[in-house]
Amino acid sequence: MNQLKVNQRLTIASLHEQGWSKRKIARELALDRATVRKYLAGSTSKSPTPHTGSITLPESKSPTHPHIGSPVHPGPASVCDPWEEPIDKAWQAGLSVQRIYQDLVAEHQFPGSYHAVRRFVRRRHGKAAELPFRRMEVAPGQEMQVDFGQGAWVVDNGKRRKTHLVRCVLSHSRKGYSEAVWRQTAESFIRCLENAFRHVGGVTATVVIDNLKAGVIQADWFDPELNPKLEDFARHYGTAILPTKPVMPRHKGKVEAGVKYAQNNAVKGRSFESLAAQNLFLAEWERTVADTRIHGTTRPQVGKRFAEVEQPVLRPLPAMIFPAFEEAPRTVHRDGYVEFRRAYYSGPPEYVGRQVWVRHETRLVRIYNTRREQIALHAGAEPGKFTTDPAHIHSRKRHLIERGVDHLLDQCRLLGPLTGTWAEAMHQARGPQGLRVMLGLLQLAEKHPVARLEKAAATATHHGAWRLRDLKRLLDQPANVVQLDFLETHPLIRPLDAYRIEPAANLPPSNPIP
């Protein structure tokens, strides 16, 4: 027969006397059933006598719970009964069931299993006592909580359509605002927040929201990624958006209760012919019912507490409402344009292939980088049209003519004062054709010395020669050829009138030659 420890043999005998079967004893003590059977068969003739130094079982306790005072429900005996006292002490000290089991095995040679200890603890103490929630009360004007719920049905021509109920509650006074919307989009959510601020006549320091897709792109308790449009709204109104911890609705318990209150008291069992009719009813219900109630927690009348305590400390509203706009992420194409609402807008060349945010307002289109910094501004274009900012054309892709007449004239003046004078006069004489002539002049400057170009430009200006070929001919002349200008006046040259022959006075006319 296998040699068992004294405490194991005593436990087998005790459980057998209490009516446990051999199978159950073997399973509970993690022993072979044959070992239990052999031991019980050998122990019927004589009782085992404890050796010197063996473990003495603690005295049995009363069936009354030692700390609560309520009777323990009777049940089958447990292998943990002999260790009731150390288990109770360990549980009172806040140790886990796993830790209690480990200490029993290490310090008391406990023969049972972990599951036996867990069942014993649950039978005596129930589930682990949870720490009480801490109530979070905030100062007036500090916080507004927002949440969605299901609104009343809208029945139009026999067709039912579901609505969503937005409930905004000021955490201090419990002043509420309710609005029904068709969809939970970012635009409708922002408009509800704005309407709530306008309804209460001020702005709270923070707004606590759920991790709904309309407001939060990536939920994270420490660093959530908000919808960029919602971030702009918060900056516009001077507030901070604080999403709750994921799967933690008690972080906004005030509005959770507020949504249930509005659903049960305002819209339950009702239907409306239109969304506008439902919102008119909710506005009247807030004024006549929700504001006049005595709140079960704060006790004062909600509307009175809001008017006397919270409304005076709300932050002022901005002068203008948050602008309505539509925005979406886009990628700058290889041609330097982004497409939005089937129109095309240029972006800086360094953003080609990168993602940007395009915002379409009433008449403007703004382009932002991922840091929400504006990098381009355009007037709204019709579908199929291209809008280009000249600053977005790279210098290597920009033709000189595109830079304008003034730029070309400045480049010609840099060659020399006489060359610049010829270019200005040529442009005045030839008009738009002079743009290409100036391009040719700049190319000539790359092949000829500036001094020769200045001399040729002076000669061409003197003669009023405004064609590029004339300038080239002057530049192609040998350097040692002296060009003599035709002089119209000189002291030694008589005027043409001096060579005119006047008819003689009083002379008869000459006879014609026959």
128 or 273: which leads in pLDDT: 273
Residues 333, 315: contact at Cβ < 8 Å? no
Q: Among 6-10, 107-111, 166-170, 443-447, where is mean pLDDT lowest?
A: 6-10
The confidence score (pLDDT) of residue 486 equals 46
* d(C-alpha 293, C-alpha 295), whole Å: 6
Give the closest residue to 327 by CA, choosing from 367, 363, 354, 355: 367
Pairing of strands 164-170, 176-181: antiparallel
The 8 Å CB, 24+ separation contacts for 338-344 are: 338/367, 340/365, 341/383, 342/383, 342/384, 343/380, 343/381, 343/382, 343/383, 343/384, 343/385, 343/386, 343/387, 344/381, 344/385, 344/386, 344/387
Q: Residue with structure tokens 């901005």? A: 318
Q: Which residues contact 505 (CB under 8 A, 6 or more apart)?
A: none
Side chain identity, residue 315: R
Report whether pLDDT(74) > 50. Answer: no
pLDDT tens string 363-385: 889 999 988 889 999 999 999 99
Confidence (pLDDT) at 366: 92
pTM, entire model: 0.50
β-bridge partners, 206 = 143, 240
Q: 432: which DSSP letter?
A: G
Distance of CA 290 to CAs 15, 173, 231, 258, 295, Å? 64, 12, 30, 10, 9
Which helix (H) or strand (E) covers residue 145, if one does?
strand 143-150
pLDDT at site 385 = 92
Q: Is residue 175 very low, low, confident or very high in pLDDT (cuts 50, 70, 90)?
A: very high
**Quick one: average pLDDT of 55-60?**
39
- pLDDT tens readout for residues 247-276: 776 667 777 888 998 999 999 889 999 999
Mean pLDDT of the chain: 81
Q: Which CATH architecture has domain 143-313?
A: 2-Layer Sandwich (3.30)
Closest CA to 207 of 255, 260, 149: 255
Would you list the domain boundaries of the chain?
A: 6-125, 143-313, 326-395, 401-476
User: Which residues are CB-contacts of 367 (< 8 A; sequence separation ≥ 6)?
Assistant: 338, 345, 347, 356, 357, 358, 359, 374, 375, 376, 377, 378
pLDDT of 51: 38
Q: What is the pLDDT of residue 111?
A: 86
The CATH class given to the 326-395 domain equals mainly beta
Tallying the residues shown for the chain, one arrives at 514
Distance CA 6, CA 47 (A): 12
Residue 56: pLDDT over 50: no
Q: Does residue 188 have a pLDDT over 80?
A: yes
Contact status, residue 123 vs residue 75, Cβ threshold 8 Å: yes
Q: Order the strands of the 206-209 sheet from edge to edge.
A: 176-181, 164-170, 143-150, 206-209, 240-243
What percentage of the chain reaches a pLDDT higher than 90?
Answer: 31
